[in-house]
Amino acid sequence: MFRTAGYVAAIVASLVLSVPAAYGDNSRKFGFEIEAGPVWQSRNDVRIPSDAGTEFSLSDIQGSGPFAAARVYFDYAFLPKHELRLLAAPLTLKGTGELAEPTLFAGETFSPDQPVEGVYQFNSYRFTYRYRLYEGDRWTWKIGATGKIRDAKIELNQGGLSAVDDNVGFVPLLHLDGEYRWNQKWRLNLNMDGLAAPQGRAFDVALKMKYDLSRNWTLGFGYRTLEGGADAEDVFAFGWFHYAVASISFRF
């Protein structure tokens, strides 16, 4: 038993020690990125419950925007071709408007032609594994899988009347990252998490220009779109959001 434990310890130690050896002394295995910018909504349709509720548009209540949004990434390249990525992307939209008709939502009926506040929350927390499939002089492609924790809430408030529908769930997604390098400073990056199923879909796609300020610091700017929703027995909700984003990242 002790001999087996010794073999296991030796294998683990060799794997740990091989990571810096594989990278060399000047490796940059860790990355941290902050992204922020305004977000607009072109669709935010809700019907809860899906079989008996009244369909309405949160974007008509809140307006199209812009609203503030931000997200944070943390990357760890534990082997030259293998990476782990963590993401925290909170999103909350609030606004006041009017409903076009009497609206049954989450067990309460809200009146038209009176101010109503709409709250939309869609916080996303993700864990991604990705593999560098190809790297050439210009192109680099990575593929992987993402596990997403969705913390969602829709709320209506009108006078003393309030109704909330919230949900926390797990969503599996596919991951794709492609990059084209023009020169030593400039590159174009496409990044996507997404998957579709009969009961719903989720897509988060970004196209960004990136500029390397130095070996460690990188600036980015571009467009991000978030689209998806669910059509299930208890909820119908689909949204489409558009971001103008700027980011700064640090690798070490």
Mean pLDDT, the chain, rounded, equals: 91
- What number is the average pLDDT over the span 194-217? 97
Q: In this predicted model, what pLDDT tens digit does every residue of 63-86 receive, in sequence order?
A: 999 999 999 999 999 999 999 999
Q: State residue 113's pLDDT score.
A: 86
**CA–CA dist 17, 237 (Å, integer):** 49
User: Domains (ranges, CATH) in the chain?
Assistant: 26-251 (2.40.128.90)
C-alpha–C-alpha distance, residues 46 and 226, integer Å:
16
* Position 8 pLDDT exceeds 70: no
CB of 93 closer than 8 Å to CB of 41:
yes
**Local confidence band at 41 (pLDDT 50, 70, 90 cut-offs):** very high
- Per-residue tokens: 186: 């400039």
Is the pLDDT at 19 greater than 50? The verdict is no
pLDDT at residue 4 is higher than 50: no
